[in-house]
Amino acid sequence: MTAAGNPAVTPARPTRGGRFTVTWVGVVPFFVYVGLFLLLPTAIIVVGSFTDPKGGFSLANFQGINKPYMLKSFQQSLIISAISAGAGAIFGSLLAYAVVTGNPNGILRRAVMSASGVLAQFGGVALAFAFIATLGTIGFVTEFLLNHGIDIFHNGVWLYETPGLILIYVYFQIPLMLLVFLPALDGLRPQWREAAESLGGSTWHYWRYVAGPLLAPSFLGCTLLLFANAFSAYATAAALLTQGGVLVPLQIQALITSETEAAQPGLAQALALAMIIIVVIVMSLYALLQRRTSRWLR
Amino acid sequence: MKLGSLTRQLGLAALALLVVAACGSSSTSAGTTDWSKQASASAGGGMAALVAAAKAEGQLNVIALPPDWANYGAVISGFTAKYGITVNSANPNGSSQDEVNAFDGTPNAPDVVDVGQAVALANTAKFAPYEVATWGDIPAGAKEPTGLWFNDYGGYMGIGYDSSKVPAITSVSDLLGAAFKSKVALSGDPTKSNQGLNGVIMAAVANGGSLDDISKGVAFFHQLKQAGNYVPVVGTSATVKAGQTPVLFEWDYLSASHGKDVSTWKIFVPSSAIIGGYYSQAINNAAPHPAAARLWEEYLYSDAGQNLWLKGGARPVRMSAMTTAGTIDTTAAAALPAVNGTPLVPTGAQTSAASQYVVANWTAAVS
């Protein structure tokens, strides 16, 4: 249950050989796995979200979404995902550029890459706990600052609210951005810059007319990936916010486990389906942008 | 991960069907009594027969029983010591709904559950009727007439606090003061936890609301939030020990258990708002260990079992009968928090209405 998704990996283009049957057998385990753990659950959710408690067809679950507190959780989820993706994209790409301008085999690059690989996957309960232990109401940084006259929670405990979630999400968004955006920066050839300069272009011209347009699709695509990553994150928020269903995944959790009134699995599945639709849209845009990028940067 | 666990459960269910089909015939021919059909120990041949059958099963599956909840740790080890039956405890911090959700027909499904009232009422079709030997001592309003569920232990909603960190609490409105900045928490999310919901009900009654009007309770937590005093963390033994939730709305018997971690821990039960609540026991009608499940209930409702609740600070359901009979643990009874006033116990309908109000308004009030 890691919060961060896997960075996109561009597979090598398969060569079409005559021995089709043998190569086909090799991917059977993969398709079985995808079928069992992706397609089957999705099908269960789709069926369940259109089913009423008695087993008949119903749209009531989707009407259940149209309540102020449900729409509010969608709004919160979208805001937190968008801001954390934007901040992660900006800081992550700057960091990536700093790394790219250094020695390609240098210690800095290897260290940053390794650290990012670890930190991009450092989500979930462990990350939430790390923040509670440092910046929580009794975290050691909080206590240290309090002893020096600074009360970071003077206006309320923001760590457990939207700003806190954004801060924590950015923690794994920046390294993820570095990992997925670095290949695009690596694809910028020094010769292009030299060409621009030899034709009398300034640094501004180079970025405006060469590097910028080349990197823009990749940058936007990576931002969308970060957005989907934050939107679908569950464990970090669940461990941090044990109180109140501020985000859609937490609403789903509440609907499945509520002990105060009849749990509503149908409504939970409808919410899940709505999330799936949003992620599918975002990831389709991501795929389109990636295709455009790969034409230039190989 | 919910998706993953769903498919896993489907897979396990399919596997379990095979296992059950394979050994179903042999188990019925081996035993003389099918305990899954017995509604009392005497109907199945008496306690000795029940004990023998339960020992033959050798296992009992329980779920969502934290060891520090109402002395469950001692209850479980007492049961194992007396009958030599292994107790498999799953998901100790789960909710009542999690317990019923785990009825998946596998050999790992819970045999017995300990649930809040709303879940008990909503799931009677999944429970087996059973009357313990001491059935007559349980008041009529505290059990389903045929024994589908029966109340076991309970207490009153209180405000536990660390007296070394905050001033003594004499009324619920004290909590709005500056001394309680970033300190007040609930012990459950009221949109889904029975205990958390009762905390809000208590705040409502203490602030001029009633069991039928919980809006004042939600408004009170909104004020707490505005004052910067509300901590949106579910309080547990761990958060109390760490000092993260020095003021906690909680059942008094659960709050009492924090005394071992925080020696300055005190409990305040407002005399104007004494909210009572009981938890119920029920047996899975497809229990993998039907005899052990029934023996477990007999143990819980025996004098020894009921006195264990009392030692944990909870009020056992047979308390008045045992006080009359002189079998109550008087030392433990005297140690219960003093309560002056008439307790109010929300009905199922009141709890349900309160829950619907909280689900619709809670997030807006505290975020």
Per-residue pLDDT of A185-224, as tens digits, reads: 888 888 888 999 999 888 898 989 888 888 888 899 999 9
What percent of the residues of chain B are helix, what percent strand, and what percent coil, each to the nearest 5? 50, 15, 35
User: Is the confidence at residue B3, as pLDDT, over 70?
Assistant: no
Structure confidence at residue A297 (pLDDT): 60
ipTM of the complex: 0.72
Structure confidence at residue A298 (pLDDT): 56
- Please give the structure tokens belonging to residue B196: 């958390």
Rounded to the nearest angstrom, the minimum Cα separation between B275 and chain A is 16
Beta carbons within 10 angstroms of residue A23's beta carbon: 12
Per-residue pLDDT of B183-239, as tens digits, reads: 999 998 898 888 999 999 999 999 999 999 999 999 999 999 989 899 888 898 888
Please name the member of A1, A69, A259 whose beta carbon is closest to the beta carbon of B192: A259
What is the pLDDT averaged over residues A56-66? 85
What is the pLDDT averaged over residues B281-298? 95
Whether A89 is covered by a domain: the verdict is yes
String of DSSP letters for B158-170: EEEEETTTSPPP-
CA distance A245 to B196: 14
**A88 burial level (CB within 10 Å; 0-12, 13-18, 19+):** buried
Structure confidence at residue B24 (pLDDT): 40
CA distance A157 to A233: 22
Report DSSP state, residue B337: P
**Lowest-confidence pick of A17-21, A24-28, A87-91:** A17-21
CA distance A218 to A180: 9
Amino acid at site B180: F
Does B360 contact A242 at a Cβ distance shorter than 8 Å? Answer: no
Write out chain A residues lying below 8 Å of B124, CB-based: none
For A16, phi and psi rounded to 5 degrees? Answer: -85, 110
A297 or A266: whose pLDDT is higher? A266
CA distance B181 to B262: 20
Beta carbons within 10 angstroms of residue B292's beta carbon: 28
Helices B47-57 and B72-83, packing angle to 10 deg: 100
% of chain B at pLDDT higher than 90: 56
Contact B210, B157 (CB under 8 A): no
Its pTM surpasses 0.95: no
Query: Which residues make Cβ contacts (< 8 Å) with residue A146, sequence separation at least 6?
Result: A152
User: Is the confidence at residue B15, as pLDDT, over 70?
Assistant: no
Report the run of H or E that residue B127 belongs to, with start and end: strand B127-128
B327 or B9: whose pLDDT is higher? B327
**Lowest-confidence pick of A257-271, A284-298, B24-38, B112-126:** B24-38
Structure confidence at residue A72 (pLDDT): 87
Whether A31 is covered by a domain: the verdict is no
User: Is the confidence at residue A236, as pLDDT, over 70?
Assistant: yes
Query: Which residues make Cβ contacts (< 8 Å) with residue B326, sequence separation at least 6?
Result: none
Structure confidence at residue A69 (pLDDT): 84
Structural domains of chain B, with CATH: 38-154+277-334 (3.40.190.10), 155-276+338-366 (3.40.190.10)
CA distance B238 to A154: 25
Structure confidence at residue B109 (pLDDT): 94
Rounded to the nearest angstrom, the minimum Cα separation between B187 and chain A is 9
Whether A223 is covered by a domain: the verdict is yes
Q: How confident is the model at residue B246 (pLDDT cuts 50, 70, 90)?
A: very high
Closest-CA residue of chain A to B189:
A243
What is the pLDDT averaged over residues B55-84? 92
Mean pLDDT of chain B: 87
- Please give the structure tokens belonging to residue B7: 């498919």
Does A69 contact B359 at a Cβ distance shorter than 8 Å? Answer: yes
Report the run of H or E that residue B330 belongs to, with start and end: helix B330-334
Rounded to the nearest angstrom, the minimum Cα separation between A138 and chain B is 6
What is the pLDDT averaged over residues B56-79? 92
Q: CATH number of the domain that A156 lies in?
A: 1.10.3720.10
% of chain A at pLDDT higher than 90: 34
Q: Are strands B315-316 and B184-186 parallel, antiparallel or unpaired?
A: unpaired
**B287 burial level (CB within 10 Å; 0-12, 13-18, 19+):** buried
CA distance B31 to B23: 13
CA distance A36 to B88: 29
Structure confidence at residue B2 (pLDDT): 39
Rounded to the nearest angstrom, the minimum Cα separation between A235 and chain B is 9
Q: How confident is the model at residue B31 (pLDDT cuts 50, 70, 90)?
A: low
String of DSSP letters for A194-235: HHHHHTT--HHHIIIIIIHHHHHHHHHHHHHHHHHHHHH--H
Whether A85 is covered by a domain: the verdict is yes
Structure confidence at residue A259 (pLDDT): 77
- Please give the structure tokens belonging to residue B326: 């002189």
Whether A23 is covered by a domain: the verdict is no
Whether A25 is covered by a domain: the verdict is no
Structure confidence at residue A6 (pLDDT): 47
Contact B71, B77 (CB under 8 A): no
**Lowest-confidence pick of A46-50, A257-261, B23-27:** B23-27
- Please give the structure tokens belonging to residue B330: 């008087």
Per-residue pLDDT of B126-166, as tens digits, reads: 999 999 999 999 988 889 999 999 999 998 999 999 999 99
Contact B253, B155 (CB under 8 A): yes
Does A72 contact B364 at a Cβ distance shorter than 8 Å? Answer: yes
Helices B348-366 and B194-206, packing angle to 10 deg: 90
Per-residue pLDDT of B175-199, as tens digits, reads: 999 999 889 999 988 988 889 999 9
Structure confidence at residue A20 (pLDDT): 56
Report the run of H or E that residue B322 belongs to, with start and end: helix B319-325
Mean pLDDT of chain A: 85
Does A37 contact B4 at a Cβ distance shorter than 8 Å? Answer: yes
Q: How confident is the model at residue B112 (pLDDT cuts 50, 70, 90)?
A: very high
- Please give the structure tokens belonging to residue B77: 């080890």
String of DSSP letters for chain A: --SSPPPP--PPPPP--S-HHHHHHHTHHHHHHHIIIIIHHHHHHHHHHTB-TTSSB-SHHHHHH-SHHHHHHHHHHHHHHHHHHHHHHHHHHHHHHHHHTS-TTSHHHHHHHHHHHHHTT--HHHHHHHHHHHHSTT-HHHHHHHHTT--TTTT--GGGSHHHHHHHHHHHHHHHHHHHHHHHHHTS-HHHHHHHHHTT--HHHIIIIIIHHHHHHHHHHHHHHHHHHHHH--HHHHHH--SS--SHHHHHHHHHH-SSS---HHHHHHHHHHHHHHHHHHHHHHHHHHHHHHHH--
Structure confidence at residue A222 (pLDDT): 92
Does A259 contact B194 at a Cβ distance shorter than 8 Å? Answer: yes
Which of A146, A161, A261 would you mutate first to test chain B, the one with the most B CBs within 10 A? A261
Whether A27 is covered by a domain: the verdict is no
Structure confidence at residue B140 (pLDDT): 84
CA distances from A74 to A257, B341, B366 (A): 20, 44, 17
Report the run of H or E that residue B204 belongs to, with start and end: helix B194-206
What is the pLDDT averaged over residues A225-241? 90
CA distance B115 to A89: 47
Contact A259, B95 (CB under 8 A): yes
Structure confidence at residue B26 (pLDDT): 38
Contact A187, A297 (CB under 8 A): yes
Question: Look-up: residue for tokens 């027909």?
Answer: B105
Write out chain B residues lying below 8 Å of A247, CB-based: none
Number of structural domains (chain A) is 1
Whether A132 is covered by a domain: the verdict is yes
Q: How confident is the model at residue A8 (pLDDT cuts 50, 70, 90)?
A: very low
Q: Are strands B86-90 and B184-186 parallel, antiparallel or unpaired?
A: unpaired
Contact B358, B178 (CB under 8 A): no
**Domain containing A77: what range?**
61-296
What is the pLDDT averaged over residues A238-254? 82
